[in-house]
Structure 1
Amino acid sequence: MFDTTSGLRGRTILTGDRPTGALHLGHLAGSLSLRVALQESNAQTVLVADLQALTDNAGQPAKVRSAVREVMLDYLAVGLDPAKTTFALQSGLPALAELTMLYMNLVTVPRLLRNPTIRTETEARGFAGGVPAGFLCYPVSQAADITAFDADLVPAGADQAPLIEQTNEIVEAVNRQAGTRVLRRIDHLAGAAPRLPGIDGLGKMSKSGGNAILLSDPPEEIRRKVMRMFTDPGHLRVEDPGRTEGNVVFALLEAFDPDRGEVERLAEQYRAGGLGDMVLKRRLDGILQELLRPIRERRAALAADPGAIDAVLRTGTELARGRTETVLDRVRDVFGLATRRTRRFDAPVFTALP
């Protein structure tokens, strides 16, 4: 489901999600499985980006707050291990907000407006009356997140490449102003898995689109969603030739069916005619039930002790706070500001204050 990670060792990785709801199959194929593999030989931090979730959910703070624990349950249920991966809550790290403010002085509004990811996401959300300033500055906030952990590798979808590029522009601006390397450049690791389509065939699988199979869905809900999946509207009879392109059932079989040869054989038969949609849907249902059953069971067991989930996030956030403040000190020094490290509060600008 993703690029091999066998050659990746000793990297400092920052990744994460905005908590706006439980995670789904698209996350599993696109990022979660990759993170589980990366944690074995790298220093990985997963950031629960609740502040960034508010950039387009400011009117629904309760939704974001409740989703924090839902996302944490999904993380742990798929195999992310607190002994190997640090989990941190964005709003618990004040250094990130200050770094964002400092970096905003190095980025122009026209540059933010040219960011392809921001343009695409702005159109998708259909902001009425203009784009919230917080959302427009999302790339700057993400740059603060990445650099605050001294990360040098960010696994993310191909659509995130413009955000990584803008992060490196900010890194270069800070280093240029300092005259030395204060921040590290970031490499982008794009997984091989394509973005999964929604069950309705209309765009990508997403929580907000209501077209996703959640990792926490019960068996009957998985089955119901599979049976509703978009296939080929021109494939009216079993003997009719069918199209596999744009066919959601085949997209998910290609992503999750371990028998690659059988998937290719079924695709050939479907294109030639003589294979019904229900045969494919029953196969996919069986595969997804087997895939999600252990995840769902682990999730239910973890949910029985919410205090333990909160403790994992609290411990990781406290650890991350020290790391991020160290980086903030370096950046504050570049801007001529007082730091914890140098304790420059006896500088003239302070002694002259009344």
Structure 2
Amino acid sequence: MAKISIDPWGYFSVKDYDELIGQFGIEPFTDELLSKIPEPNKLMRRKVVFAHTDFGRVVDAIIQKKEFYALTGIMPTLEQIHLGTKLVIENMRFFQEHGAKTFVLVADLEAAATREVSLEESRQRALDFHIPAYIALGLDPKKTVFYFQSTNEKVKNLAFIFSNKVTLNEYRAIYGNTEPARMMSSILQAGDILFPQLEVRMPGVIPVGPDQSVHILLSRDIVNRTKSTFNFIPPSGLYNKFTPSLDGDLKMSKSKPQSCITIPDDINEACKKIRRALSGARKTLADHRKYGAIPEKDMCFQLLAQHFIEDDKELKRIYDEYKAGKMTTGEIKDITCEKLTEFMKDFERKFEKAKKIVPNLKFIQ
């Protein structure tokens, strides 16, 4: 198998998730591993979570009720988030509910270096939108530690210490890109990922899309090279599939707004996009009734499975009826619009409440 290069700031060219297994320390998320997880969430049950790195040690910590942490970040470039971000927060919420010390960082330094967003602009966007959005999506603010990269001196100190532990050739082999701004950002991310262990050495999990897996690989390499100094525990990764584009591409992208749903989004416009989404139905109603749909190729069914239906029995009923040709593509699009509308209205209500909480949050300095 050819070595894959992943640019976490650019286009993700992998066409099949199986291509990633065995590379970058990525292992398949097996039924055996799933069976060990207490009360797995729907993303785990439905294999939206498809791979991991050393996740077993986190499962052991959950079962044994030992200390562990979960960490994610905010890239404050726009005042909206991608549906895919919702998957990450759902996994973060799972870990928080199972005892994880929860950390959310605002990547304002990375945004300045790689996206040319000022620190002031990043801070305002994070406070006005991103942090309340994460709370609205289910994170408990009382159990979550928030910080900005620019004001967390310990993270920056770690990054400086880590900077001489990776050679240019090694960095090029992992990222395929050696722009100074991106190199600095990736080393800083290693500081973020390992920062929670400064006080207590404990397992940690970083739930991300597969395009971010290289940051975990770099952090694990740094752990091995700083063992005599820090004795950190290598961080684990949990990787979810992307939310597919409504036109059938592997990854929904803001660069194709007609095939992308954001949070928030205009409900009427979002439903119009859903009406135009790639269908798994047959070309004619007669063929559809005779042969049934292919739910796996239907983008509305993918939205229901990943985001909008919690109950497995309800999802299976839709799958079975659609696959048998009893449910039409129009009917599954109606269901998707209805579920999307419920979600967006619920998010808006929770978001307004969360905005009132943000001024009282204490950030790490």
TM-score range, shorter chain: 0.7 to 0.9
Task: Determine what percentage of the aligned residue pairs are the same residue.
Answer: 24
Larger radius of gyration: 1
SS at match of 2:226: helix
Aligned residue identity for 1:93: N
Return 5+ residue gaps in structure 2 as ranges: 1-41, 46-58
Q: Do the aligned residues in 1 keep the contact of 2:155 with 2:188 (CA within 8 Å)?
A: yes
1:300 aligns with 2:348: no
- Partner residue of 2:133 out of 74, 79, 83: 74
SS in 2 for 1:154: strand
Q: Map 1:189-338 to 2 at 5 A.
A: 189-190=237-238, 193-210=240-257, 211-232=259-280, 235-241=282-288, 242-255=293-306, 256-273=308-325, 275-303=327-355, 305=356, 308-312=357-361, 315-318=362-365
1:55–1:132 contact (8 Å) kept in structure 2: no
How far residue 92 of structure 1 moved from its aligned partner, in angstroms, is 1.5
2:172 maps to a residue whose letter is L
Q: Cα distance 1:209–1:92, how it changes in 2: closer, same or farther (>3 A)? A: farther
| SS of equivalent to 2:344 | helix
Unaligned runs of 5+ in 1: 123-130, 319-354
What SS does the corresponding residue of 1:47 show, helix, strand or coil? strand
| Cα 1:187/1:97, change in 2 over 3 Å | closer
Question: Is 1:154 the equivalent of 2:201?
Answer: no
Is 1:19–1:68's contact at 8 Å kept on the other side of the alignment?
yes
Q: Which residue of 1 aligns with 2:115?
A: 57
Which stretch shifts more, 147-156 or 101-110? Answer: 147-156
Q: Which amino acid aligns with 1:45?
A: F
Structure 1 partner of 2:81: 23
CA distance in 2, matches of 1:74, 1:309: 10
Q: CA deviation at 1:295?
A: 1.6
Letter in 1 for 2:69: T
Say if 2:37 is the partner of 1:2. no
| Correspondent of 1:144 among 191, 202, 205 | 191
Question: How far has the Cα of 1:273 moved from its partner?
Answer: 4.2
| Structure with higher strand content | 2
- CA deviation vs aligned residue, 1:159-200 (integer Å, no higher than 9, x gap): 244322221211221224x4xxx1412331415x53211223
State the TM-score, normalizing by the size of structure 2. 0.70
- Tell me if structure 1 keeps the 8 A contact 2:91–2:207: no
Residue 19 of structure 1, CA deviation? 1.8
CA contact (8 A) 1:152 1:187 kept: yes
Measured after TM superposition, the shift of residue 12 of structure 1 is: 2.7
**Secondary structure of the equivalent of 2:93?**
helix
Give me the whole-angstrom Cα distance separating, in 2, the residues matched to 1:78 and 1:293: 12
**1:106 pairs with 2:165:** yes
CA distance in 2, matches of 1:57, 1:194: 25
Q: 2-side partners of 1:269 and 1:3: how far apart?
A: 24
Give the drift of 1:269.
4.5
TM alignment of 1:121-132, pairs within 5 A: 132=179
**Segment drifting more, 92-101 vs 79-88:** 92-101
- In structure 2, C-alpha distance between the alignment counterparts of 1:82 and 1:262, rounded to whole Å: 31
RMSD: 2.8
State whether structure 2 residue 178 is matched by structure 1 residue 95: no
Q: What secondary structure sits across from 1:146 in the alignment?
A: helix
